[in-house]
Structure 1
């Protein structure tokens, strides 16, 4: 199987770090995010990865070229931002397989790709989690306080997809897959969900995310 990593964004929420290095090279426990991702993909038998790069792409290539990752890496370079849909459309031309995985460049997780691969044109999903403490009440009293509770039966996009090659024909040359093809496929009953309960999942989009992920990453990706 092949996989596409969407790693072309500027990571503005992590400035000023991303003024100097691209987001995929931000270290979590002294290892860049993209290395954690490659290790994760390799674990599930991915033998080739296409990395969609744009912002400071030469730094990403230089870093990975100096490493012995043990997985074949190709690059799909965006001279101007194409959005997730445009990036997948361009990178997908390098893939000959009938299907492939896509992962957002800031996602660190232990979601089982073997389970995701059982459904074509599918989105991996995890239960929605609050970012704030949840209060359980009775009358006018608080009886329990919970931090970041998972909300049952509300599912969120985990940023990992298993897509058929022919989806490339429907993708825009520029634009996000989440705003174009996915809503259209959902209306037509062509989009599937694969639900994952009790998994570790982080979208590294803030300094707090970095701190929390660093506490767990060794357990997430072994």
Structure 2
């Protein structure tokens, strides 16, 4: 079963980093967040990936083409008999990675449709290239197979970006909560999709999170897998700093490998 990762957005709210590289290559602990996401999936046996490229997609191609050279010491013999001798055991990742150009301005649904030619199975996984979680992906797929609908979305309870106030009518603060967790559920991505969903996607302007998911919901074909654990999307420079602090202090909940 292949995992499709949406890697083409421009990351406009993280211009401190994404001015120079695509957001999936922004690093946590010296490794791109894309690598962390792939390691999460591979830990559950899902190590066959399709990366939907767009903004600065060539940099992601270069990352994988130079993967061993960038992660190992090596000696290179130049000239007619060029050869490379790596001095450490090669990385243990056994990823299969298909890099699919899906257009700089293509929206999420259009990216999935464009890369669909690389999906061979009846089911496939889809997620975003900027979110990490301690989600049990094996249980997620089992949940999808059990309910028999066309699509599963992972739901989580978001944490407010702001402190919340409980006020008296006269303005007196009854209670203050610093960034509380909401009682509502929100989308975390981490989709499981039947390949028949592909037929419901439109052209490059199709936003997967809008009409396609709304229609699946109206038809009773969309079910939510409720995740009460850790989820965090790296959307701003402050969030980038937070994820790096977690990693540097060995408190990264998404490290399940």
* TM-score (norm. length: structure 2): 0.80
Q: Which residue of 1 aligns with 2:188?
A: 158
Paired with 1:96 and 1:114, the residues of 2 have a C-alpha distance of 20
Deviation of 1:47 (Å): 2.5
Q: Which residue of 2 aligns with 1:192?
A: 223
- Consecutive aligned runs of 4 or more in structure 1 exceeding 4 Å deviation: 136-141
Paired with 2:192 and 2:139, the residues of 1 have a C-alpha distance of 10
Name stretches of at least 5 consecutive residues in structure 2 with no aligned partner: 68-90
* Equivalent residues of 1:103, 1:160 under 8 A apart: yes
Paired with 1:138 and 1:169, the residues of 2 have a C-alpha distance of 52
Q: 1:130 aligns with which of 160, 176, 185?
A: 160
Q: Which residue of 1 aligns with 2:253?
A: 219
Q: Which residue of 1 aligns with 2:6?
A: 6
Q: Which has the higher strand share?
A: 1
Paired with 2:46 and 2:65, the residues of 1 have a C-alpha distance of 18
* Equivalent residues of 1:172, 1:180 under 8 A apart: no
* Equivalent residues of 1:84, 1:177 under 8 A apart: yes
Q: Aligned-pair RMSD on alpha carbons?
A: 1.7
1:100 aligned onto 2:124: yes
* TM-score (norm. length: structure 1): 0.92
SS at match of 2:103: coil
Deviation of 1:27 (Å): 0.9
Q: Which residue of 1 aligns with 2:36?
A: 36
Q: What pairs up with 1:62-141 in 2 under 5 angstroms? A: 62-67=62-67, 68=91, 69-117=93-141, 118-119=143-144, 120=149, 121-136=151-166, 141=172
Q: Which has the larger radius of gyration?
A: 2
Name stretches of at least 5 consecutive residues in structure 1 with no aligned partner: none
* Equivalent residues of 2:133, 2:253 under 8 A apart: no
Paired with 2:12 and 2:158, the residues of 1 have a C-alpha distance of 24
Paired with 2:38 and 2:158, the residues of 1 have a C-alpha distance of 26
* Equivalent residues of 2:38, 2:47 under 8 A apart: no
Q: Which residue of 1 aligns with 2:75?
A: none
SS at match of 1:35: helix
Q: 2:178 aligns with which of 141, 147, 150?
A: 147
